[in-house]
Amino acid sequence: MKNQHFIFFNQDIPKNLTGIESSAFKRYGLFEQQFGIRPLFLTARYNPSYLVNAQRWINEGRIPQDFRCDNLYTYFQHNGAKANPEAIYYRPKSLETYRHIIFHGNQKICVQYFNQDTQKLAYTHYFDEKERVIRLDNYDFDGFLSRTVFSTLMRKGKDKEKLNFFIKSMVHLVFINILFKKMAKPLFLVS
């Protein structure tokens, strides 16, 4: 079994567990205890907080300390990159909450952190003059810009277009996901 690799595919490692994730975590533990195999837990949903969530479940004893996990988006975006030495760190005077509103000229920006301990930026929301989100920047836990979403509202807010740019850590575009409300499936353009 030395050259065999075991991978558990799941949708996500969410902040709040469902029965599906709980069962998958138990299965992971059984493989480790019964067979001495440490599988890789691979997730498919875009979630820049999956490592933060995994650490939470490790701390609560739901998954083993040596839990191995990866995400398809992160894999294609990083592919060997190290933590970003120029990660955005900003410590406001008060950290009662992880979310802060900043005004840059006339533009309102909402800043969200992964948690108080890390002071690492999780995302920023940019608002238009009517306080609708027009841009969202997601950062991964290593400090890299991971995704930029541009959103437009048409016909008095009824139809919404979203243009997602998924960015590789070396600032290369990995793929674009275009979501139109009336489309049955999203359109992916791969770089």
pLDDT of amino acid 179: 47
For residues 184 and 119, state if they share a domain. Answer: yes
User: What angle is formed at CA 109 by the lines to CA 74 and CA 116, rounded to 5 degrees?
Assistant: 60
For 47-70, write each residue's pLDDT tens digit.
Answer: 888 988 999 999 999 988 889 999
| Domain annotation covers residue 46 | yes
| Domain annotation covers residue 105 | yes
For residues 174 and 123, state if they share a domain. Answer: yes
For residues 139 and 182, state if they share a domain. Answer: yes
Q: Taking residues 110-119, what's their average pLDDT?
A: 70
For residues 74 and 121, state if they share a domain. Answer: no
Q: Report DSSP state, residue 96.
A: S
- The count of structural domains within the chain is 2
Q: For 131, how many CA atoms within 13 A lie in the half-sphere containing its CB?
A: 3
| Domain annotation covers residue 147 | yes
Measured distance CA(168)–CA(146) in Å, rounded: 7
For residues 56 and 111, state if they share a domain. Answer: no
pLDDT of amino acid 178: 47
Q: Report DSSP state, residue 145.
A: E
Q: Report DSSP state, residue 57.
A: H
For residues 142 and 111, state if they share a domain. Answer: yes
Torsion of CA 64, 66, 67, 69, to 10 degrees: 170
Range of the domain at 174: 99-190
| Domain annotation covers residue 186 | yes
For 145-191, write each residue's pLDDT tens digit.
Answer: 888 888 766 445 555 667 776 666 554 444 445 444 444 444 444 43
For 11-25, 80-94, 146-160, which range has the lowest pLDDT when averaged over its residues? Answer: 80-94
Token representation of residue 90: 């900003």
77 contacts 146 by C-beta, under 8 angstroms: yes
Does 85 score more than 60 pLDDT?
Answer: no
User: What pTM does this model have?
Assistant: 0.57
Q: Which of 28, 47, 78 is the last residue of a domain?
A: 78
| Domain annotation covers residue 93 | no
